Amino acid sequence: MSSSPLPSFNELTQKKAPVLRTGSRATQVPQTASASFTSVASLLKATSAKDLLGVDAIGSFRMEEHNGDSVEELPKLPKAKPRKPATKKVGVGEEKVAKAPRKKKDTVEGEPKKPRKPRVKVTDQAVGGNDTPKEPAPKKPRAKKVDKDANPDEGIKDKPARKPRSKKPEGESQIILAKGQITKPSSKLTSDRVDKAVKSKKLESAITDPFADPVDLGLVEAVQRRTDWTPPTATGKTTGITPISGDRLDFGSTSCGSIQSGERSKTFTDLFGSFGFSKLDNNDIGKKSLETEKPRKRKLIELVKTSVSTAAATSLKEKAPKKKARTITGLATSAYAEQEEITAKPAPLLQYFSRQTTERPTNDGFKVPPKPRSKSLVKGAKPKKGSADAPILLSPESALKQSGNQDFVFGTSSQLAREDSPRLLRDLHEAMQASNEIDEDDPFADSIHASVFANRGKTLAPANRDLWSAAARDMAGDLLEVEMVDLVDSPVATKHTIPTIMPGATKPLVNEVAEDVWYDIEELGKNMDQDLQTTKEATRRIGPVEAAIRAELLSSPASNPKSKESTPKKSKREKRDKSPSRRTKSLAKASTKAAKSKGVGMPDFSSYTTAQLAKEIASYRFKPVKSRDGMIALLEKCWEGKNRIALGALGANVLSQPPPESSKPPASNQVCAASPKRPRGRPRKESTTSSPPKGKVGRPKKSTTVEYFEMDSDTPLSQTRTPKKSKKGKEAVVEDISDSDTETRPSPPRRQASQTKTPPLPLKLSTDLEIDTSPELSPLSSRALLFMHITRAIKNAPPSKDPSKPSWHEKILLYDPIILEELAVWLNTGALEKVGWDGEVDVKEVKKWCEGRSICCLWRENLRGGARSRY
């Protein structure tokens, strides 16, 4: 279409040119000739502003409805064009009349900025035909005028005419494209139209005929163009709501007329009516209207996208709104929303659980996806996970892929993901553990007791209370129950929050899901309460995000031991919960002990050798620090900062104890075992997988815990994926590990963090530091060593036989100023090697060596770039 209109435009322009002349002249010439035109023009100006405003308003309404962007005046303009023909067609006489003045006004408005002056000029030009070329100043006016006038005087006007021509087509094209310069083209167009209308009415029929023809042609084409070029919204409207649009157009035109005639009330009513109709139509169409309304602001983008496929605008529009969610949360939730709908409907609670159980293993394997969900929803997260997972029922591979594709992390945790540091998860985990540590430490005893007295859980729990428990007022057993209530409430709150995030339709689904999950949690919580009050408390205390993370991190390891023994499923949840928590506690203790022993916590930098310190600082990418105290202080700050990231993300934790972090991993395990962390999705898996093993409460004993701990560090993921296998035993776990490694690709860091936790890294670092840095790398010691070798190399060099060519040692003894470059070259070309120093010396180091020994040294090249030739 675009191609066709362009040639037509050229033709039209030629044809129109006269018309335009007449038109332009009509406005202009008449102005000179008769005051009526001028008056009309003035009226048009005055009214046009109003009309334009009204039109804009109307357009804005329309736009809002359709496009949603008030900014898009351009579409309005094109609409205005078609409107005119429509109006002409519909209400020929009156509307035309009404339009004419309106158009005049429009022209006045549009043109006044540029055209006004030109018009005057134009009038002059019109009088003296050739004047236009002489007047260089206003290009645009010329263009119009020139074109108008140009036809007769093409030869002279061609140059200026080019510009105007281009402008005109631009104006038209702009109208069609209509995004960049709305006001100008619109004004021009309107002016042209007005002129045309005026001409048609007032001018001779001959003139009007050509106008009408070109106008009509242009309008027809414009309609097509509009369809082509106008953003999908318009098309969509036109396609789906074409009648409405037409009405609106009519209204717009009528409104214009009404303004003068004072029929605005009708117009507004009509507009509103059309509005209502449009909504109705939209409603009839279905969700389109809702979608369209919502996306309005975003229409521009959508329009661009949808414009490609104009035909299926409605369907596209519907899809588009869903796609709208471009915020992280939106993106995160969007996928779930659909899933929720699907899942929530089909899945009864029981089914849901079953699905979750089945699915969860996969999720656990792909820790990534469940985490964001869990984070966002906290307790509700579990339901979400279940819902999200349940609907699709992805194969493990596909689920892995999806999880891998989901890079986002919810809320604060996402903010935490600064660089994609592999440590992030670990840090989070550690931080959470640290925060929970206090609880955990006590829990150890508790866990032991619990393990011993598995059934007695509640009775034991109060005795073993942690600070958390004390804070929770566990002292009174009743308070614990209250906490249970809180747990229930919290998920509800999460539910509410969830719906807000999700569109209305999705909300109910979410709620259902959340409820399901919630129920699960309650059950878990009940079980937990019975067995392990402390664990519950810990979980409650932990934020949803933390819990999710912990669940992810811990679930695999903790679950493994549990999974081994028991293969219970949904029904066994209670048992599972109890057992996992206990086991987790035991595990936590063991792990904490191990971690502590390993020294995961803040290392005692003061005990490091300077070389080690230097290496540590280098690991933080800091420049070497000379003073040892400074190095230690810097390292401590670095370490704190490193830990703080995790803690800070959690939000509640103080720097707290770096060492606790090391111990924390076990704690996290406990937490994971506890319902709160897992609730979002993994916990279920864990519960499913882990719960069965716990059926036998006795396991949690220390020996088992140690094993578990080991298991945890190595093979958490495998269990989640393949709960059945995990149940089989350690062997299965090992196999699982291999699987997990391969499968887990999408989220390797997390797994590593969870599996390896802190202990491995610190150990590596320490070893590296000790081995590598101690001898050479630390700046101070290494420098001292280097200097020693330099001294040795210089002293060991044989004395010169030629007094005129003393050795370096002799030069120094003779107080000769030492040229650093030469000495460095000499040292690096064998002298140092002979002394046993493998490596080269930097000239700056040589300089420091010289200065440290009162040896007068200097650079051969001075700062001016010259080489010293004499001393």
Beta-bridge partner residues of 819: 858
814 near other proteins, rule: CB under 8 A: yes
Q: What angle do CA 677, 681, 682 make, to 5 degrees?
A: 65
Residue 858 touching other proteins (CB under 8 A): yes
Contact (CB, 8 A) for 502 and 333: yes
The C-alpha atoms of residue 838 and residue 273 are separated, in whole angstroms, by 91
Question: Contact 702/586 with Cβ under 8 angstroms?
Answer: yes
Q: Which is nearer to other proteins, 229 or 787 (CB)?
A: 787
Q: Give the angle subtended at the CA of 362 by the CAs of 361 and 368, to the nearest 5°.
A: 110
- SS3 of 583-614: the string is HHHHHHHHHHHHHHHHCCCCCCHHHCCHHHHH
* Contact range with other proteins by CB under 8 A, out of 101-109, 337-345, 749-757, 815-823: 815-823
Which string of b and e fits 108-131 if b means at least 16 CB within 10 Å? bbbbbebbbebbebbbbbbeeeeb
Pull the structure tokens for residue 411.
Answer: 């809320």
809 near other proteins (CB under 8 A): yes
Q: Looking at 3, 419, 805, 838, which residue binds other proteins (CB under 8 A)? A: 805
Asked if 836 is part of the footprint of other proteins (rule: CB under 8 A), the reply reads no
Task: Give the residue, chosen from 155, 654, 813, 839, that forms a contact with other proteins under the rule CB under 8 A.
Answer: 813
The Cα–Cα gap between 864 and 871 comes to 17
**Which of residues 127 and 813 has its CB atom nearest to other proteins in the complex?**
813
Of residues 623 and 805, the one with the C-beta less far from other proteins = 805
Nearer to other proteins, 206 or 863 (CB): 863
**How far apart are CB 851 and other proteins at their closest, in Å?**
4
Judged by beta carbon, residue 286 or residue 630, the one nearer other proteins is 630
Select 259 or 794, whichever has its Cβ closest to other proteins: 794
Binding mask 745-774 for other proteins (x = CB under 8 A): ------------------------------
Q: Is the dihedral of CA 47, 52, 57, 58 positive or negative?
A: positive
Residue 845 beta carbon to other proteins: minimum distance, rounded to whole angstroms: 14
For CA atoms 247, 253, 258, 261, give the dihedral sign: negative
Q: Is 104 exposed, middle or buried (0-12, 13-18, 19+ CB in 10 A)?
A: buried
Taking CB under 8 A as the rule, does residue 781 contact other proteins?
no
Interacting stretch for other proteins, rule CB under 8 A, among 334-342, 487-495, 614-622, 796-804?
Answer: 796-804
Report the alpha-carbon distance of residue 788 to residue 531 in Å, rounded.
67
Q: Of these, 652, 806, 821, 833, which contacts other proteins (CB under 8 A)?
A: 806
Q: Which is nearer to other proteins, 211 or 849 (CB)?
A: 849
Q: State which amino acid sits at residue 567.
A: T
Position among 800, 821, 828, 833 found at the interface with other proteins (CB under 8 A): 800
Q: By C-beta, is 479 or 858 nearer to other proteins?
A: 858
* The two structure tokens encoding residue 240: 């789906």
Closest approach of other proteins to the CB of residue 630, in Å:
11
Buried/exposed 140-162: b ≥16 CB within 10 Å, e otherwise: bbbbbbbbbbbbebeebbeebbe
Give the shortest CB-801-to-other proteins separation in angstroms. Answer: 5
Question: How many chain residues bind other proteins (CB under 8 A)?
Answer: 39
DSSP labels, 630-695:
HHHHHHHHHHHHHHHHHHHHHSS--S--HHHHHHHHHHHHHHHHSTTTGGGSHHHHHHHHHHHHHT
- Rounded least distance, CB 332 to other proteins, Å: 51
Determine which helix (DSSP H) or strand (DSSP E) holds 857, and give its type and residue range: strand 857-858
Q: How far is the CB of 798 from other proteins (least distance, A)?
A: 9
Among 94, 816, 821, 833, binds other proteins (CB under 8 A): 816
Radius of gyration of the chain (CA): 40
Backbone dihedral angles phi then psi of residue 818, each to the nearest 5 degrees: -90, 130
Q: Quick one: 629 or 838, whose CB is closer to other proteins?
A: 629
State how far the Cα of 405 lies from the Cα of 402, in Å rounded to an integer.
5
Q: Counting contacts by CB under 8 A, is residue 810 touching other proteins?
A: yes
861 has which bridge partners? 867
Residue 812 within binding range of other proteins, rule CB under 8 A: yes
**Using CB under 8 A, which of 461, 794, 831, 841 touches other proteins?**
794
Decide if 749 contacts 424 (C-beta within 8 A): yes
Question: Does residue 870 belong to the site contacting other proteins (CB under 8 A)?
Answer: yes
CA dihedral over 215, 217, 220, 222, signed as positive or negative: negative
Stretch that binds other proteins, among 15-23, 341-349, 825-833, 863-871 (CB under 8 A): 863-871
User: Of the listed pieces 229-237, 297-305, 471-479, 784-792, which binds other proteins according to CB under 8 A?
Assistant: 784-792
Residue from 276, 795, 829, 842 that binds other proteins (CB under 8 A)?
795
Interaction between residue 835 and other proteins (CB under 8 A): no
Residue 532: left (phi > 0), alpha (psi -120 to 50), or beta? beta
86 is an interface residue for other proteins by CB under 8 A: no
Residue 859 touching other proteins (CB under 8 A) = yes
Q: Which is nearer to other proteins, 89 or 626 (CB)?
A: 626
Please answer whether residues 693 and 466 qualify as being in contact, where contact means their C-beta atoms are separated by less than 8 angstroms.
no
Please, which of residues 506-535 interact with other proteins by CB under 8 A? none
Least distance (Å) between residue 814 CB and other proteins: 5
Q: Which of 645, 690, 706 is nearest to 432 (CA)?
A: 645
817 binds other proteins (CB under 8 A): yes
Shortest spacing between CB 806 and other proteins, in angstroms: 6
Rounded CA separation 823/660 (Å): 53
Q: Which listed residue (14, 497, 791, 828) binds other proteins by CB under 8 A?
A: 791
Residue 432 or 786: the one with the smaller Cβ distance to other proteins is 786
Asked if 637 touches other proteins (CB under 8 A), the answer is no
Q: Does 476 bind other proteins (CB under 8 A)?
A: no
- Taking the least distance from each CB to other proteins, the nearer of 620 and 859 is 859
Distance CA 156, CA 736 (A): 87
Closer CB to other proteins, residue 486 or residue 810? Answer: 810
Q: Which is nearer to other proteins, 136 or 803 (CB)?
A: 803
Judged by CB under 8 A, which of 742, 803, 836, 838 binds other proteins?
803
If 0-12 CB within 10 Å is exposed, 13-18 middle and 19+ buried, where does residue 640 land?
middle
**What minimum distance in Å lies between the beta carbon of 805 and other proteins?**
7
Taking the C-alpha atoms of 25, 26, 29 and 31 in order, what is their torsion angle to the nearest 10 degrees?
-130
What is the DSSP annotation of 788-819? Answer: HHHHHHHHHSPPPSSTTS--HHHHHHTTPPEE
620 makes contact with other proteins (CB under 8 A): no
Among 7, 206, 804, 836, binds other proteins (CB under 8 A): 804
C-beta closer to other proteins: residue 205 or 854 = 854
Determine which residue in the list 158, 772, 840, 851 makes contact with other proteins, applying CB under 8 A: 851
From start to end of 696-769, where are the E strands? Answer: none
Q: Does 865 bind other proteins (CB under 8 A)?
A: no
Scanning 349-357, 385-393, 713-721, 798-806 for contacts with other proteins by CB under 8 A, the matching segment is: 798-806
Which residues sit at the interface with other proteins, rule CB under 8 A?
A: 787-788, 791, 794-795, 799-806, 809-817, 847, 851-859, 862-864, 868-871
